[in-house]
């Protein structure tokens, strides 16, 4: 009795602590939207995508001239050199100088570096977009997994609670049978022990439910006092057309839709363009340039405007040709690094292709097994109900013993739990297969 009071107190405390929190009603779509807003990895990829966009713009702008304006203001103290009427006069005084320069450089030929870099920037930005899309699917998948687990935990807790109530009612009946002399005290004690055991089972089920509920709340980054209250899903709305498709067709679908594979393909192409851009350092570089220089000095008595804009301006226009002869293997090192990145990217793409085939096959086989498991548990549940009803009636009539009744009750509860798990597993296996195929979107059959 003392143990029973302790268990009841724990259940009451857990229930009160849960009610003390702020409940937040959520359906699956709302949970996904919160997950996308709060998930740290997804937000990091969004930030990285902005960097890729700027890098692509930077590569495009490299086709335009570079223009820089420079201004220097300084004072010279000491010997000053002046040329007056063919003579060089040296004086010791203070000279205040203001100078200005305008420089423009336009690349004409640089071994196709600019073209390859521009194409690489576009490919890498597109790869980032695909990575962001796959990250969104991953968030949806994780939310769906946690969401369905919480709903399953709730069902298992309700089954355990209902079984406890049924056995408490059975205990009252056995007490009446004992008073009437129809049952022995051993049956009463056995039933009391069974009720006490089921109380702990119900407690464990409730703790597991609350634990997974808090795990979902943590994944969604909810407030410290916010507890999600999840809307149920329609478990009957399951799509079985995927099971009719051959594996080869599913493989082709995955290769066509998997965003992470598209990301790897774009990364491979982008790294190849970067390799070609790095090899451009082996070729001559031809640039056009324009320089405009002027200055003002206090050694000249003429006005600032006259000196700066009329007397001293100089303009230089020309071409610059650079031929790489020997630069301490800097170019070779750059090309070697780019080549390594390109080869490694090819390895990553090949590994992902093999992984996709394995994921699709495993999800497909698990989906088929879940369908068969669902049919088997349905038959198991119907048989367990019939057996429990028959043995309960035989026990009431005094034909069956307590062991037969306890086994029938346990088999019924086991069948109920297995049926609930089979339904949620079947529902989740479809989500897993769609995730493996790259076709997971927000319009999942997660509605009521």
pLDDT digits (tens, 9 = 90+) for 146-158: 999 999 999 999 9
396 versus 358: the higher-pLDDT residue is 358
pLDDT for the residue 103:
96
Taking phi first (over 0 means left), then psi (-120 to 50 degrees means alpha), and beta for anything else, what does residue 361 get? alpha
pLDDT for the residue 423:
92
Distance CA 205, CA 7 (A): 13
CATH for 196: 1.20.1600.10
Asked whether residue 445 is assigned to any structural domain, the reply reads no
Asked whether residue 66 is assigned to any structural domain, the reply reads no
Which domain, by its residues, includes 347? 2-38+110-283+324-437
Please state the rounded mean pLDDT for residues 118-131: 96
Asked whether residue 218 is assigned to any structural domain, the reply reads yes
Asked whether residue 135 is assigned to any structural domain, the reply reads yes
Asked whether residue 50 is assigned to any structural domain, the reply reads no
Asked whether residue 81 is assigned to any structural domain, the reply reads no
Taking 90 as the threshold, does the pLDDT of residue 2 lie above it? no
Q: Are 252 and 48 in contact (CB under 8 A)?
A: no
Distance CA 146, CA 251 (A): 27
Taking 70 as the threshold, does the pLDDT of residue 317 lie above it? yes
Asked whether residue 448 is assigned to any structural domain, the reply reads no
Count CB atoms within 10 A of the CB of residue 412: 24
pLDDT for the residue 443:
60
pTM confidence score: 0.82
Mean pLDDT of the chain: 88
Taking phi first (over 0 means left), then psi (-120 to 50 degrees means alpha), and beta for anything else, what does residue 130 get? alpha
Please state the rounded mean pLDDT for residues 23-52: 91
pLDDT-derived band of residue 239, with 50, 70 and 90 as boundaries? low
Maximum mean pLDDT: which of 29-33, 393-397, 417-421: 417-421
pLDDT for the residue 95:
86
pLDDT for the residue 271:
96
Taking 90 as the threshold, does the pLDDT of residue 182 lie above it? no
Distance CA 67, CA 207 (A): 68
**Least confident window among 40-44, 82-86, 97-101, 209-213:** 82-86
pLDDT for the residue 138:
94
Asked whether residue 416 is assigned to any structural domain, the reply reads yes
Tally of domains within the chain: 1
Taking 50 as the threshold, does the pLDDT of residue 314 lie above it? yes
């Amino acid at each position: 009795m003392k143990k029973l009071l302790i268990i009841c107190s724990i259940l009451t405390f857990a229930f009160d602590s849960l009610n003390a929190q702020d409940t937040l009603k959520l359906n699956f779509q709302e949970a996904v939207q919160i997950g996308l807003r709060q998930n740290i990895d997804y937000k990091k990829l969004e930030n990285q995508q902005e960097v890729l966009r700027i890098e692509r713009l930077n590569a495009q702008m490299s086709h335009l001239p570079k223009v820089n304006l420079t201004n220097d203001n300084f004072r010279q103290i000491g010997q000053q050199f002046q040329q007056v009427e063919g003579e060089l006069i040296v004086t010791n005084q203070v000279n205040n100088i203001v100078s200005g320069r305008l420089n423009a450089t336009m690349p004409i030929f640089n071994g196709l570096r600019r073209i390859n870099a521009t194409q690489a920037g576009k490919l890498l930005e597109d790869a980032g977009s695909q990575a962001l899309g796959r990250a969104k699917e991953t968030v949806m998948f994780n939310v769906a997994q946690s969401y369905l687990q919480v709903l399953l935990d709730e069902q298992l807790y309700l089954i355990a609670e209902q079984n406890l109530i049924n056995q408490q009612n059975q205990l009252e009946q056995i007490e009446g049978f004992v008073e009437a002399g129809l049952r022995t005290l051993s049956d009463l004690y056995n039933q009391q022990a069974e009720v006490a055991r089921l109380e702990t089972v119900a407690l464990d089920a409730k703790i597991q439910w609350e634990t997974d509920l808090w795990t979902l709340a943590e994944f969604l980054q909810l407030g410290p006092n916010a507890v999600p209250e999840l809307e149920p899903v329609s478990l009957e709305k399951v799509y079985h057309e995927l099971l009719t498709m051959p594996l080869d067709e599913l493989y082709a679908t995955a290769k066509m839709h998997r965003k992470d594979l598209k990301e790897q393909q774009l990364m491979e192409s982008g790294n190849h363009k970067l390799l070609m851009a790095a090899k451009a350092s082996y070729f001559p570089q031809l640039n056009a340039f324009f320089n405009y220089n002027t200055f003002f000095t206090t050694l000249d008595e003429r006005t600032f405007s006259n000196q700066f804009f009329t007397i001293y301006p100089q303009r230089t226009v020309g071409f610059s040709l650079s031929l790489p002869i020997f630069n301490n293997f800097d170019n070779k090192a750059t090309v070697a690094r780019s080549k390594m990145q390109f080869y490694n990217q090819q390895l990553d793409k090949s590994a992902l292709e093999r992984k996709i085939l394995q994921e699709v096959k495993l999800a497909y086989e698990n989906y088929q097994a879940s369908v068969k498991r669902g049919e088997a548990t349905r038959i198991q549940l119907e048989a367990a109900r019939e057996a429990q009803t028959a043995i309960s009636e035989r026990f009431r009539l005094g034909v069956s013993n307590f062991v037969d009744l306890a086994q029938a009750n346990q088999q019924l509860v086991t069948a109920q739990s297995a049926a609930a798990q089979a339904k949620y597993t079947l529902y989740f296996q479809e989500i897993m297969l769609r995730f493996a195929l790259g076709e997971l979107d927000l319009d999942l059959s997660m509605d009521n």
